[in-house]
């Protein structure tokens, strides 16, 4: 039941045609175990670099593609993938598979951009995948939107009566992975987030070297609406200038 509680995918037929406002190329990469992994690569003219974006725990590229076109306005290419069982992607879900699949797409970016032009971006569940990927590579920057300390921290809050330490199959240890990164880390979180509480992100930030991390608090921001705030937009424009 844990996977059904953590992941809320929406599948798409293989012949589904994406339509976005920005130019893009649809990709299908094959994992070592034969899983087919779907992604969209948004392209701009003379890009400053590429943002490798790891999305949240629900929906598929139909939604996340629309969300990530925002970053092309800063003249960056964007690569966003669907996890196993999401959209057109296939394969058996596991935490390790999520990480190896993420590396597959990071390698795709590496074949097209120097590593000092690669930004790793994670949102919600994707912040852990971004954190792990950054720990195995040397991106220019790590941006985390609505992150959490680790899965155990979240589970204890929701199910305090259960021995989560012993029964939790997915660890999502962002706090550990980020200890093995050297790139600057930018964290965005809203004070009114009811999905991932603000203090979980705060705990994550406090576990990191102060000189490495920048914590941008969005007053009254919730889990899904940070992009609606002027503070988010102005800070993002500074970061991606």
Average pLDDT by stretches of 10, the chain with 241 residues = 82 98 97 98 98 98 98 98 98 96 98 98 98 98 97 67 58 96 98 96 97 98 98 98 93
pLDDT of residue 219: 98
Contact 89, 35 (CB under 8 A): yes
Give domain limits for the chain: 2-239
Where would I find the H helices in 53-141? Answer: 61-68, 95-110, 126-135
Residue 21: Cβ-neighbour burial (10 angstroms; 0-12, 13-18, 19+): exposed
CA distance 212 to 143: 12
pLDDT of residue 152: 81
Q: Is 216 helix (H, G, I), strand (E, B) or coil?
A: strand
Fold category of 2-239 in CATH = Rossmann fold (3.40.50)
pLDDT of residue 155: 63
CA distance 205 to 220: 19
Contact partners, residue 91, CB within 8 Å, separation at least 6: 31, 33, 34, 35, 36, 37, 84, 85, 97, 101
* Residue 147, CA distances (Å) to 104, 144, 237 in order: 22, 6, 20
pLDDT of residue 157: 61
């Amino acid at each position: 039941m844990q996977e059904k509680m953590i992941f809320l995918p929406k599948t798409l037929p293989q012949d589904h045609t994406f339509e976005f406002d920005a130019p893009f190329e649809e990709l299908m990469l094959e994992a070592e175990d034969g899983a087919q992994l779907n992604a969209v690569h948004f392209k701009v003219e003379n890009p400053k670099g590429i943002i490798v974006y790891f999305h949240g725990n629900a929906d598929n590229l139909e939604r996340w593609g629309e969300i990530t076109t925002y970053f092309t306005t800063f003249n960056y290419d964007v690569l966003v993938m669907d996890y196993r069982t999401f959209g057109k992607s296939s394969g058996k879900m596991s935490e390790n598979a999520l990480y190896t699949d993420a590396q597959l797409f990071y390698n795709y970016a590496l074949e097209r951009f120097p590593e000092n032009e690669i930004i790793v971006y994670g949102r919600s569940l994707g912040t852990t995948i971004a954190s792990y990927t950054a720990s195995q590579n040397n991106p220019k920057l790590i941006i985390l939107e609505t992150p959490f300390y680790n899965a155990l921290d979240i589970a204890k809050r929701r199910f305090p009566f259960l021995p989560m330490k012993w029964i939790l199959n997915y660890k999502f240890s962002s706090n550990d992975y980020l200890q093995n990164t050297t790139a600057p880390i930018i964290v965005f979180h809203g004070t009114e987030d009811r999905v991932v509480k603000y203090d979980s992100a705060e705990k994550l930030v406090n576990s990191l070297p102060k000189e490495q991390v920048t914590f941008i608090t969005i007053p009254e921001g919730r889990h899904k609406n940070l992009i609606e705030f002027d503070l988010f937009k102005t800070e993002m424009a500074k970061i991606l200038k």
